Structure 1
Amino acid sequence: MKQFFLSLIALALFSSCGGNDDPPPAPEGADLIFPLENSECTTGVSVNETLSQVTFEWQSSANTETYSLNVVNLDTNMPQTISTAATSASLSIAKGAPFSWSVTSINSDSDQIASSETWLFYNSGAQTTYAPFPAQLVSPISGSTVQKSIANEVDLIWIGADVENDIESFEVFFADQNPPLTSLGTTNSSIMELAASVESNTVYFWRVITTDSEGNTSDSGVFEFKVF
């Protein structure tokens, strides 16, 4: 009987010391609020001739302690990042330039993070018309290795946007040398995909030039991929 009670005590002690083995809940992605997607931001407070301070806002997300605001100048590809526990933050950014922005949700108890969507906007400047946003090259991902189709082709896919919604065309440049100078073709504003003929064991480079009805242009920058 004594041994039975000792066993019960040991079991109780073991149970009380045991922790919860469930992993901590992962943070969820935040919903962006402002600046609006594909918009002109006119609410910035002027800092000097070249900069204005813009306040970014997003909704709170579950299981999140802090947020990392990521803003990228699409003309220079220079990022700015700020960490905060709030659901808004202000940054001084260039006037008259296109930007992308997103928010990363972080929880110190979890090794996972969550990213919001990425939105584009122009920070208001002196100009009265804006160039299209640089096309976002979606596929193939830069630095990736892809397989060609039976027709020995790879589909090049991108996304285009414009504050004034007046994109006229996309011209795709594609080559096995960097920078790619050979025009693969031009599509209208509704077509954002073009097939490229490729060979195995070759690295290719591609970029997209977007043109609007005012003749303004933007350059996506160069992506590269390898065909195996």
Structure 2
Amino acid sequence: MRKELNLFVLLLSMACGKDSPKPPEATLLSFPLQNSECTTGVSLNTTTSQVEFRWQEARYADTYELRVTNILTGISITNAPTTALSARVPILKGTPYKWRVTTRNAETQEIAVSEEWYFYNAGTQTTYPPFPARLLEPASGASVVRDINNEVTLRWTGADADNDIQSYEVYLDTDPDPQQLVASPSVSITQVNTSVAIDAVYYWRVVTIDREGNTSDSGVYSFRVIR
């Protein structure tokens, strides 16, 4: 009986001492650079060039999955998981894209996702529209509380490969297609306070304008005011 008990304790201690699989960490992106114009693509024809995407080795990662999205159409290209730290993808010239890399580990179901970087694939243009503003707060679908002035703060971030953003237009409405202009801040201002009513759903978007008159639309986020 004592031998069986000792064997049970030994097996239990071995099981408890076994390390759990470590989830993969997110990789750091290298190229194409964030908010840049990529000019290194290899021309395939008049409309398409092949761009090499590169990232860094991530701890506890077995494979990497690259996802490249055409910002204008929303169409994505997702490469098969690879052990390499780069991948070549044919994409349209003169078009804005965003890209990210997902890391995986065969010993766990957990994944990690890198930052998402924006860039323009070089074309014949001499000037590029701004990248669509990224809406930060309130997050889409969030429930928010008004401040003592019965206002909420709308925050976003903007970028342009030409670095010539001039201003923004902020639209907020209870209509899913917000057309009511509530602010027109300059490039140095990326947040505004605006009055809202309690127990209502609001929709908001930001239009970015550069010095050449080019524009881009962030798309619409919504939030609910709960009190």
Q: TM-score, normalised by structure 1?
A: 0.91
| Distance in structure 2 (CA, Å) of the matches to 1:98 and 1:59 | 23
Partner of 1:66: 63
| 1:157-204 C-alpha deviation (Å, 9 max, x unpaired) | 101001111110011011110211111111111110011211122111
Partner of 1:99: 97
Q: For residues 23-172 of structure 1, what are the structure 2 equivalents within 5 Å?
A: 23-82=20-79, 83-172=81-170
Higher alpha-carbon deviation: 210-219 or 69-78? 69-78
| Distance in structure 2 (CA, Å) of the matches to 1:9 and 1:179 | 69
| 1:110-169 C-alpha deviation (Å, 9 max, x unpaired) | 232222121111000111110111101111111222222221111111010011111100
Cα distance change, pair 22–186 in 1 and its aligned pair in 2 (3 A): same
Partner of 2:174: 176
Cα distance change, pair 19–125 in 1 and its aligned pair in 2 (3 A): same
Structure 1 gap segments, 5+ residues each: none
1:227 aligns with 2:218: no
Q: Which amino acid in the other structure matches residue 43 of structure 1?
A: T
Q: For residues 195-210 of structure 1, what are the structure 2 equivalents within 5 Å?
A: 195-210=193-208
Number of residue pairs aligned between Structure 1 and Structure 2: 225
| Distance in structure 2 (CA, Å) of the matches to 1:209 and 1:95 | 23
Question: Secondary structure of 1:63's match?
Answer: coil
Q: Which protein has the larger Cα radius of gyration, Structure 1 or Structure 2?
A: 1
Question: Secondary structure of 1:177's match?
Answer: coil
C-alpha displacement of 1:10: 5.5
| 1:1-34 C-alpha deviation (Å, 9 max, x unpaired) | xx6556545655x358736454211111111110
Q: TM-score, normalised by structure 2?
A: 0.92
Structure 2 gap segments, 5+ residues each: none
Cα distance change, pair 152–106 in 1 and its aligned pair in 2 (3 A): same
Q: Which amino acid in the other structure matches residue 22 of structure 2?
A: P
